[in-house]
Amino acid sequence: MKDQGTYQPYSYYQLMETSLRELLVEKGIVTDDAVNAEVTAMRGRQPERGSKAVARAWVDDAFRQRLLKNGTAACEELGLEIPALKLVVVENTPQVHNAIVCTLCSCYPRVLLGIPPDWYKSRNYRSRMVREPRAVLAEFGLKIADAVQIRVHDSTADMRYMVLPMRPKGTEDWDEARLAAIVSRDSMIGVAIPKVG
């Protein structure tokens, strides 16, 4: 899958970006300041936001229940403004492993996890994740026992999904910040699990 972002110094598409932006500014539809402010805001949306919600759910069971009931409202409690996002949080348990894909495009909870990685948008992931999830997870180094049910969520419409991974053993006395640090982006997509050390 060639989706690596290796570009010529000024490609046709970059030319289109500059041209379109300048036209929209001339027409008073957007301003350069607004575009730059949006870029800055985007840089602030990193997977750490999702990790924060996961770590809170691990230490606060009432919050965990609210997060599962209405992910959007629960994240707002943490000061994560995600107004337009309809967040469905799916919980991993000893019996169930969840993983997220969008076969039709690349829907992703961007305000919580940032811009999706290239592999999430690749033909290989989008095609195979719904049909052979166990093989795909193994390619990520994740072997799921047959006794564990795999639930693959194809994000086709208005909901966005985040996996609530299981809290690893050996973290019983950890504080929230330390817990958050082991919650990787990939574990919230469901292609990894948090590891201690």
Partner 1 sequence: MKPQFATDYPALDAKFDKGDRVRVRKTAPLGHIRTPFYIRGHVGEIERYCGAFPNPEELAQRRDGLPAQPLYRVRFKQKEVWPDYKGPASDVLEIEIFQHWLEKA
Partner 2 sequence: MLERGHHDMGGLPAGKVEPTEHDYAEWERRIDAMVQLLRGAGQITVDELRKNIEALPPEAYDKLSYYEKWISSLTQTLLQRGVITTEELGRKMEEVAGRKK
Give the binding site for partner 2 (CB under 8 A): 1-5, 7, 10-11, 13-24, 27, 29-30, 34-36, 38-39, 42-43, 103-106, 115, 117-119, 121-128, 130-131, 136, 139-140, 154
146 binds, among partner 2, partner 1, none (CB under 5 to 8 A by kind): partner 1
Catalytic position from the list 19, 51, 75, 107: 107
Catalytic position from the list 11, 19, 105, 127: 105
Q: Is 102 a catalytic residue?
A: yes
Catalytic position from the list 51, 106, 155, 187: 106
Give me the sign of the Cα torsion angle 169, 171, 173, 176: negative
Phi, psi for 96 (deg, rounded to 5): -135, 130
Helices (H), 97-191: 110-113, 123-128, 133-139, 176-181, 185-189
Dist CA 125 CA 189 (whole Å): 12
Do 190 and 99 form a contact (C-beta atoms < 8 A)?
A: yes
Comparison of 16 and 177: residue with beta carbon closer to partner 2: 16
Q: For the CB of residue 56, give the shortest distance to partner 2 in the complex, in Å.
A: 27
Q: Is 75 a catalytic residue?
A: no
Q: For the CB of residue 79, give the shortest distance to partner 1 in the complex, in Å.
A: 20
Dist CA 125 CA 75 (whole Å): 28
Comparison of 3 and 77: residue with beta carbon closer to partner 2: 3
Q: For the CB of residue 193, give the shortest distance to partner 2 in the complex, in Å.
A: 15
Q: Is 106 a catalytic residue?
A: yes
Give me the sign of the Cα torsion angle 89, 90, 93, 98: negative
Residue 153 CA to its chain's centroid (Å): 13
Kindly list the catalytic residues. 102, 105-107
